[in-house]
């Protein structure tokens, strides 16, 4: 017979250890910080040793806490994955892909029908992610833009793109040379602050980057450009359809390589998940279309 301490206490400890606080664990478990603290305290009493060193402004794992947390996280992750797999058994494999909204709408979704035709038994779910959001362990995998560094995860480079300035056709007609951008409104993506400086340097423009408006994603930036608010700098991958129908125009032909690339990101333990291997193979087959 298994002699286990309270599972609620184990969950509370594991969440608090990952978040480094009872407050973060409480938000994840949908209880109060006091409830998390109480469950951890009861667990410590049951085990007969402390798991945390409770300091004024910090929650620090003890040596025994550090020894317990990784195995407990792995066990709870395994239970969650198995429950998800069993829940989806009747409907077939479920593949949850985390990614930024812009690359989902402007690249993946228009091509997803070919994957569905080849693998109709696999249900694909697209979850919100991207550079501004962390990896979520509920995802089977993610397609993320970055530098390839996601500690604790496998990251396989898929493709990159170039960056080009785009704006509404009416505004593009008024821009003759890159120097004209000094009087234009530049549209920035807040977490990719190096985009405009790199392009301006390649265009031979010295000095500080002109001020403009900042947005939380390329999708919002491109919408502002379409509405004639200013000039955006975006991956060529994102603007091909807009250029084809005349919603956007390129005022200057200069394109610069992106610093970052898109990666397939996943935990090593997810390699055996139903649907992962076919989706991975399909992604690699489509990488040439994103170049």
Which residues, listed in sequence order, are joined to residue 162 by a DSSP beta bridge? 257
* pLDDT 10s digits, 236-278: 989 988 999 999 999 999 999 998 899 999 999 888 888 999 9
The mean pLDDT value for 78-105 works out to 80
Name which of 46, 42, 36, 48 is nearest 12 in CA terms: 36
Token pair of 202 as six digits? 């390649």
The mean pLDDT value for 99-106 works out to 88
Q: Which DSSP string do the residues of 1-24 spell out, in sequence order?
A: ------HHHHHHHHHHHHHTSHHH
CA distance 122 to 47: 44
Could you tell me if 263 and 154 are in contact, meaning their C-beta atoms sit under 8 angstroms apart? no
Q: Do domains 94-160+261-290 and 162-257 have the same CATH topology?
A: yes
Residues in the chain: 291
Could you tell me if 260 and 160 are in contact, meaning their C-beta atoms sit under 8 angstroms apart? yes
Neighbours of 254 (CB within 10 A): 16
Name which of 281, 165, 141, 160 is nearest 225 in CA terms: 165
Q: What is the pLDDT of residue 289?
A: 67
Which ranges of the chain does DSSP label H, i.e. alpha helix?
7-19, 22-29, 33-47, 63-87, 101-103, 109-118, 169-172, 195-202, 218-226, 236-245, 276-286
pLDDT at 79 over 90: no
* pLDDT 10s digits, 28-70: 888 898 999 999 999 899 999 999 998 877 789 999 999 999 9
Query: Binning pLDDT at 50, 70 and 90, where does residue 92 land?
Result: low
The residue ranking higher by pLDDT, 86 or 278, is: 278
The mean pLDDT value for 82-96 works out to 73
Fold of 94-160+261-290: D-Maltodextrin-Binding Protein; domain 2 (3.40.190)
Q: What is the pLDDT of residue 191?
A: 81
Name which of 178, 169, 186 is nearest 230 in CA terms: 186
**Boundaries of every domain in the chain:** 7-87, 94-160+261-290, 162-257
* pLDDT 10s digits, 219-246: 899 999 999 999 999 999 899 889 999 9
pTM for the whole thing? 0.62
Q: What is the pLDDT of residue 28?
A: 87
CA distance 39 to 54: 15
Question: Which CATH code for domain 7-87?
Answer: 1.10.10.10
Domain 162-257: CATH class, spelled out: alpha beta
Q: What is the pLDDT of residue 110?
A: 87
* pLDDT 10s digits, 172-187: 999 999 989 988 999 9
pLDDT at 100 over 90: no
Q: What is the pLDDT of residue 94?
A: 86
Looking at residue 208, the DSSP 8-state letter turns out to be S
User: How are beta strands 52-54 and 59-61 bridged, if at all?
Assistant: antiparallel
* pLDDT 10s digits, 191-217: 888 889 999 999 988 777 777 899 988
Looking at residue 173, the DSSP 8-state letter turns out to be T
The mean pLDDT value for 151-163 works out to 92
């Amino acid at each position: 017979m298994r002699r286990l301490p309270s599972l609620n206490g184990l969950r509370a400890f594991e969440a608090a250890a990952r978040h480094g606080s009872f407050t973060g664990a409480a938000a994840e478990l949908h209880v109060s910080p006091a409830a998390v603290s109480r469950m951890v305290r009861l667990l410590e009493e049951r085990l007969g040793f402390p798991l945390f060193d409770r300091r004024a402004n910090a929650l620090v794992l003890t040596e025994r806490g550090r020894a317990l947390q990784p195995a407990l996280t792995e066990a709870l992750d395994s239970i969650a994955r198995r429950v998800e797999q069993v829940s989806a058994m009747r409907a077939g494999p479920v593949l949850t892909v985390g990614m930024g909204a812009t690359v989902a709408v402007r690249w993946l979704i228009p091509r997803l029908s070919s994957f569905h035709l080849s693998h109709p038994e696999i249900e694909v779910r697209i979850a919100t992610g991207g550079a501004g959001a962390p990896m979520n362990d509920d995802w089977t995998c993610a397609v993320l833009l970055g530098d390839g560094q996601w500690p604790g995860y496998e990251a396989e480079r898929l493709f990159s793109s170039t960056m080009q300035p785009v704006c509404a056709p009416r505004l593009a007609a008024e821009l003759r040379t890159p120097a004209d951008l000094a009087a234009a409104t530049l549209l920035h993506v807040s977490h990719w602050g190096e985009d405009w400086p790199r392009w301006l340097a390649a265009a031979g423009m010295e000095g500080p980057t002109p001020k403009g408006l900042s947005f939380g994603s390329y999708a919002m930036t491109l919408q502002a450009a379409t509405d004639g608010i200013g000039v955006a700098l975006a991956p060529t991958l994102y603007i091909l359809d807009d250029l084809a129908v005349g919603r956007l125009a390129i005022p200057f032909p200069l394109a610069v390589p992106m610093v970052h690339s898109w990666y397939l990101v996943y935990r090593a333990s997810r390699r055996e998940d139903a649907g992962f291997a076919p989706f991975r193979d399909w992604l690699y087959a489509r990488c040439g279309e994103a170049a």
